[in-house]
Amino acid sequence: MEQNVRRVISILFVLFGVFSVIYALYLDIFDKDAGGRGILLIGGIFIIILGTYLLPSKKHTTIINVLFLLPLLAAFAITVIIPFICGIFYSFTNWNGIKFTEFVGLANYIEMFSSPDYLYSLLITFIFTILNMLSVNLAAFALALLCTSKVRGRNFYRAAFFLPNLIGGIVLGYVWQFIFNKVFTSFIAGSLSMLTDPNLALAAILIVSTWQYAGYIMMIYVTGLQGVPKDIIEASGVDGASGFKSLIKIKVPMIANTFTVCIFLTLVNSFKQFDLNFAITNGAPSRILGMKAIASTEFLALNIYNTAIAKNQYAQGQTKAVVFFIILAIVSLTQVSIGKKKEVEL
């Protein structure tokens, strides 16, 4: 008897809470100027929680578990899921950052793939990503070998190589811009800055990006290399393996999972490169393609930014961002699944 009363009460609570939440949302979405809709919303949510808590059921423990997860789920939904869904939604409209007046269907997507500057941007981003991934990982692995060898002052090196990573990208970008424009040109007197040639400007961004990021990746490699058991290395030495051979045949396979992590990090980071790109070249110099002048170093992230902010085409920018996400997800998932297969279990 008491069970049934409690059940009815708790269901009433839930219903009342749901109603109050819906009413609060209705007030907000249709812009009714009524005070207290915030209280209504939060109050409604609490009453729903209270109702489910009081509900007599065999699954009481599960309900409690879910309730305790709610703050986390809510935070995740508010900061990630909902904006993401909104973003996809806006990419089908003519949103201008304030409001939208009509649905345009796939028009944004069609326009995007038919604009040469975007396609060029896509291409140059892929080229940069591949080159940067190679250069960062090679440099980082070499530095890691140096820092785990018996060289004097290796702890100092470790800290020194890591340092550039602590400087913000924009500051770093402007400092390096000065170096390319002023310092290098005065070393090689009369020469023009690297940043005035499309190919050299890409190389310039590569240099700075490697310089900034290699130290960080090096730290991960160092950790990996230190995890390789000493006895195996010693055993290989006894068997007559040279240092180089034990590196290729033992250390590298042993730290394959470190490679997966590092390649994943550099891949994603290079693809998302924005701050250095923005500060060093901001898309310049221009390159002639056909009869068109195209910004030769405008990577995707910068292209999205310029579309939304400079051209004030928020919906178009949002569309590019959605595609950006899809490409990034495909590339990194493929890479991780390939990398995983090569890993050795200890």
Partner 1 sequence: MKSKLLVMILAGTMAFTTLTGCGSGTQTAGESSAGAEVQTNKAEAGTEEVSASGEAIRIVNGKIEIDEPLKAFAKAYQEKTGQEVVIESLGGGVDINGTLKGYLAAGNMPDIFVFGGEGDYQTWKEYMTDLSGEEWASQTDFGFKSEDGKVVGFPYAVEGYGITYNKNVLEAAGIDPASLVTYDAYKNAFETIDSKKEELGLTAVCSVAAESGQMYWSTGNHLFGYYLSAGLERGDDKYIDMLKEGSIDNDRLGQFADFIGMLFDYSDQSTLVSGTYDDQLALWAQGKTAFITQGNWIDPSLPDYNVEFDCGIAPLAFSKEEISGVLADCPSWWSVYNNGKNTDACKAFLNELATSEEGQKCLVIDCGMISPYETCTVTPTTPLAVSLKTYVDAGNTYSWGWTKMPEGIAMNSTGAVFELYAKDEIDKDTFVAMMGTAIADYVK
Residues forming the site for partner 1 (CB under 8 A) = 35, 38-39, 42-43, 46, 50, 96-98, 117, 177, 181, 185, 192-193, 195-196, 281-286, 288, 291-295, 306, 309-312
CB of 297 to partner 1, least distance (A): 8
CB of 44 to partner 1, least distance (A): 11
- Identify which of residues 54 and 146 has a Cβ nearer to partner 1 in the complex: 54
CB of 179 to partner 1, least distance (A): 12
- Identify which of residues 122 and 219 has a Cβ nearer to partner 1 in the complex: 122
- Identify which of residues 309 and 330 has a Cβ nearer to partner 1 in the complex: 309
CB of 313 to partner 1, least distance (A): 8
CB of 271 to partner 1, least distance (A): 21
- Identify which of residues 309 and 333 has a Cβ nearer to partner 1 in the complex: 309
Show the 3-state SS of the chain.
Answer: CHHHHHHHHHHHHHHHHHHHHHHHHHHHHCCCCCCCHHHHHHHHHHHHHHHHHHCCCCCHHHHHHHHHHHHHHHHHHHHHHHHHHHHHHHCCECCCCCCCCCECCCHHHHHHHCCHHHHHHHHHHHHHHHHHHHHHHHHHHHHHHHHHCCCCCHHHHHHHHHHHHHCCHHHHHHHHHHHHHHHHHHHCCCCCCHHHCHHHHHHHHHHHHHHHHHHHHHHHHHHHHHCCCHHHHHHHHHCCCCHHHHHHHHHHHHCHHHHHHHHHHHHHHHHCCCHHHHHHCCCCCEEEECCEEEECCCCHHHHHHHHHHHCCCHHHHHHHHHHHHHHHHHHHHHHHHHHHHCCCCC
- Identify which of residues 224 and 283 has a Cβ nearer to partner 1 in the complex: 283
- Identify which of residues 12 and 288 has a Cβ nearer to partner 1 in the complex: 288
CB of 306 to partner 1, least distance (A): 6
CB of 343 to partner 1, least distance (A): 42
- Identify which of residues 74 and 329 has a Cβ nearer to partner 1 in the complex: 74
Can you tell me the distance from the alpha carbon of 6 to that of 138, in angstroms, rounded to the nearest whole number?
Answer: 67
